[in-house]
Chain A
Amino acid sequence: MRTERIRNLVGGIIAIVVTGIIFLVPFIFILLTAMKTREEANLLEFGWPVGDFRLLENVIEVLQIRDYTVVRAFINSSILTVFSVSIMVVLAAMVGWTLQRRQSRWNGLINMLVLAGLIIPPAVVPTIFVMKTLGIFATMPGLILVEIAFGLSFCILLFRAFAATVPREIDEAAIIDGAGPIRLFFQFAFPLLRSVIVTVIVVQSVFVFNDFAAPLYFAPGAENVTVQLSLYNFQSQYFTSYNLLFTDILLITVPPLILYIFFNKQIVAGLTSGAVKG
């Protein structure tokens, strides 16, 4: 027993060192470079800043660049994430719930469409064509709708799986009490789905916030810029100021880190469902 404990301790320490080098060093490098002056950062050394400690000044400078582009990008990304995720959650919950509860000959087709939404890569130019026809190309509402369309399938699968664990007796009691479909869903079902709702919100927020391709294709234009696009544009313009570039990366890495610290359990639950049962 004692040898096993020693082996676990030694193994753990080796693992801490190895994963530290592989997984943590890049993040520490981001943080360190973001603290440095421009001259020092451009040396690309891995080390504590020997010159001035400039993190705060760098953050302020990054935010001010090109008439507060980064600030605008954060506002846009927040709007995009909040609206698309909240609409997605309600609509997907309605579908997942009904799909699990209602037996009909359409179920097979709907399940197939849900799978298609996960597997099939979106057709880029035809989507732009449809959006232009509807007059929503390069607009924030258009981008929100696209994110909803692409994210629905994943949410529906989680909701359908979770709805199966809610006993049907609860519905039946509510129906006998005179609840119609809308009251049954929003007043009775929705609260019961709370834990999966939190999971879906957190996971989808990370996906939408980190999404690059959809804003790139469907919302060009400076006024629609999202954080991922701003970072992408930033790297080609500020490759001579690594301190600012890495400060920008740091700023964009912080929101997922905060979500991860608070919602670790929900994220893990959302991403591993389906790993145990086939």
Chain B
Amino acid sequence: MTTTLPPRERTDNPHPDSQPSRKEKKRRAKRDPFAFAYPGWFYAPAGIIYGILFLFPTIISFYFAFTRWNLSSAEFIGFDNFVTFFTQERLFRGFINTLIFGALTSFAKVVLGLLLAVVLTSGIFARGYLRAVVFFPVLVSTIGVGVTFKILFDPFDGLVNEALAVIGITGPNWLTDPNMAIYSIAIVDIWKGVGLAALIYIAGVVAIPSDYYEAARVDGSNAWHSFWHITLPLVRPATITVVILSLIGGLRTFDLIWTMTSGGPGFASDTIASVIYKQYAAGYYGLSTAGNVILFVLVTAIVLPIYIFLNRKSKEL
């Protein structure tokens, strides 16, 4: 899992008087007698590594996605790779699964994360211990988690189905049923990631002033009302963080898929990221890069509007 914090624009400024207009900013930059102390070349070392190994490959991917490519020569073939991607069932399934996986895991992490946060910020017994237990899977190797659950999900000997059998439920074929596999992997992803969502929500819930709840209680508000009208609107920044973070992670998901099913059975649980790997391994570099471009466009098209929309809403509040 490469969990990264979502893009947050920091608006808090240590100098309250230094939020000037653009013109003002320019004038100050010119006059700032200390500007020389923060030279532009401080950007250079990071910029060179980022530019060569991240930015440049991203830019050229938009050319190579339109080629048949073997690293030494590239033949321009127009939209063929994209047509292949969207018309072949075994590739297109990856696209659909990516959407399902991203939507499902983000939604579950928001709901369960907030629920856990509310419970874990109440006066409940053993709060610190519970937080630690819920959070620890976030830090554990995705491969380790994947291998473990692959065995726990074994339809016959697996612990999950044995436990379900005890309470009289016949467990499904978690990873071997083509209609079930992607959802089983999503469950494991939620299991591993919900601790992070809960942690972010806890930070958000703790920051709400307790006066609000007291005032509401005086006015006769019950717990549900307080949650709906105070907690929920005021944890909005945390929700933005959780949604964006889960989407970035969920839409790019690869490690867990690759460890648990390798996209199988057949191609039933492929995602775009696993298709990219499979096409790369098979030597179809152009097609693999087209997959990369599709993933780029998909992630940007989903995350960016949500980011802008949710941020604007929170400023209005």
The answer to whether A20 and B133 have CB atoms under 8 Å apart is yes
Pick the interface stretch among B49-57, B170-178, B213-221.
B49-57
The answer to whether A257 and B124 have CB atoms under 8 Å apart is no
> Is B305's beta carbon under 8 Å from chain A?
no
Q: Which 4 A-B pairs have the closest CB atoms?
A: A12-B125, A123-B61, A126-B57, A274-B8
Among A157, A165, A253, the residue within 8 A (CB) of B8 is A157
The answer to whether A252 and B144 have CB atoms under 8 Å apart is yes
Q: A91-B46, A91-B49 are in contact. Are A13 and B241 (CB under 8 A)?
A: no
- Closest residue of chain B to A132 (Cβ to Cβ) is B71
The answer to whether A119 and B7 have CB atoms under 8 Å apart is yes
> In the bound complex, what is the Cα–Cα distance between A122 and B292 (angstroms)?
8
> Is B183's beta carbon under 8 Å from chain A?
no
> Is B276's beta carbon under 8 Å from chain A?
yes
Among A149, A175, A275, the residue within 8 A (CB) of B54 is A149
Pick the interface stretch among A53-61, A63-71, A190-198, A205-213.
A205-213
> Is B104's beta carbon under 8 Å from chain A?
no
The answer to whether A168 and B203 have CB atoms under 8 Å apart is no
> Is A19's beta carbon under 8 Å from chain B?
yes
> In the bound complex, what is the Cα–Cα distance between A156 and B10 (angstroms)?
12
Among B69, B126, B154, B288, the residue within 8 A (CB) of A124 is B288
Q: A123-B58, A271-B200 are in contact. Are A146 and B53 (CB under 8 A)?
A: yes
Can you add 5 more A-B contacts, CB < 8 Å, to A123-B58, A127-B57, A134-B52? Answer: A98-B43, A124-B277, A125-B288, A268-B203, A278-B314
Indicate with 1 or 0, residue by residue over A97-137, a CB within 8 angstroms of chain B CB atoms.
Answer: 11101111010001101111111111111111111101000
> In the bound complex, what is the Cα–Cα distance between A129 and B64 (angstroms)?
11
> Is A138's beta carbon under 8 Å from chain B?
no
- Closest residue of chain B to A229 (Cβ to Cβ) is B143
The answer to whether B296 and A13 have CB atoms under 8 Å apart is no
> Is B140's beta carbon under 8 Å from chain A?
yes
Among A94, A125, A184, A276, find the residue whose CB has the most chain B CB atoms closer than 10 A. Answer: A125
> Is A222's beta carbon under 8 Å from chain B?
no
> In the bound complex, what is the Cα–Cα distance between A145 and B56 (angstroms)?
14
Residues of B within 8 A of A172 (CB): 34
Q: A115-B7, A121-B299 are in contact. Are A181 and B36 (CB under 8 A)?
A: yes
Among B64, B144, B288, the residue within 8 A (CB) of A231 is B144
| Chain A residues bordering chain B, tally (CB within 8 A) | 119
The answer to whether B42 and A275 have CB atoms under 8 Å apart is no
Residues of A within 8 A of B3 (CB): 207, 271
Q: List 11 A-B contacts (CB under 8 A).
A: A102-B38, A116-B58, A121-B299, A134-B52, A149-B52, A149-B54, A154-B5, A175-B37, A212-B259, A276-B238, A278-B9
The answer to whether A11 and B125 have CB atoms under 8 Å apart is yes
Indicate with 1 or 0, residue by residue over B191-211, a CB within 8 angstroms of chain A CB atoms.
Answer: 100001001111110010000
> Is B147's beta carbon under 8 Å from chain A?
yes
Interface residues in B20-60 by Cβ distance below 8 A to A read 25, 28-29, 32, 34-40, 42-43, 45-47, 49-50, 52-58, 60
The answer to whether B123 and A275 have CB atoms under 8 Å apart is no
The answer to whether B42 and A97 have CB atoms under 8 Å apart is yes
- Closest residue of chain A to B129 (Cβ to Cβ) is A16
Among A91, A101, A180, find the residue whose CB has the most chain B CB atoms closer than 10 A. Answer: A91
The answer to whether A26 and B130 have CB atoms under 8 Å apart is no
> In the bound complex, what is the Cα–Cα distance between A249 and B53 (angstroms)?
31
Indicate with 1 or 0, residue by residue over A265-277, a CB within 8 angstroms of chain B CB atoms.
Answer: 0011011111111
> Is A23's beta carbon under 8 Å from chain B?
yes
Among B7, B54, B58, B203, the residue within 8 A (CB) of A276 is B203
The answer to whether B143 and A232 have CB atoms under 8 Å apart is yes
> In the bound complex, what is the Cα–Cα distance between A97 and B276 (angstroms)?
36
> Is A35's beta carbon under 8 Å from chain B?
no
Closest Cβ of chain A to B79, distance in Å, is 18
The answer to whether A149 and B200 have CB atoms under 8 Å apart is no
Closest Cβ of chain B to A208, distance in Å, is 10
The answer to whether A157 and B5 have CB atoms under 8 Å apart is yes
